[in-house]
A and B are shown apart, each in its own frame.
Chain A
Amino acid sequence: QLQLQESGPGLVKPSETLSLTCTVSGGSISSSSYYWGWIRQPPGKGLEWIGSIYYSGSTYYNPSLKSRVTISVDTSKNQFSLKLSSVTAADTAVYYCARHYVLPDYWGQGTLVTVSS
Chain B
Amino acid sequence: QSVLTQPPSASGTPGQRVTISCSGSSSNIGSNYVYWYQQLPGTAPKLLIYRNNQRPSGVPDRFSGSKSGTSASLAISGLRSEDEADYYCAAWDDSLSGRVVVFGGGTKLTVL
Residues of A within 8 A of B (CB): 37, 39, 46-49, 52, 60, 62-63, 96, 102-110
B98–A46 touching, CB < 8 Å? no
For residue A48, which residues in chain B have a CB less than 8 angstroms away from its CB? 103
A109–B44 touching, CB < 8 Å? yes
Residues of B within 8 A of A (CB): 2, 33, 35, 37, 43-47, 50-51, 56, 88, 90-92, 95, 97-106
B44–A102 touching, CB < 8 Å? no
For residue B33, which residues in chain A have a CB less than 8 angstroms away from its CB? 102-103
| A109 nearest CB across to chain B (Å) | 5
Closest B residue by C-beta to A37: B101
Closest A residue by C-beta to B6: A46
CA distance A105 to B101 in the complex (A): 13
For residue A106, which residues in chain B have a CB less than 8 angstroms away from its CB? 47
B44–A96 touching, CB < 8 Å? yes
CA distance A48 to B104 in the complex (A): 9
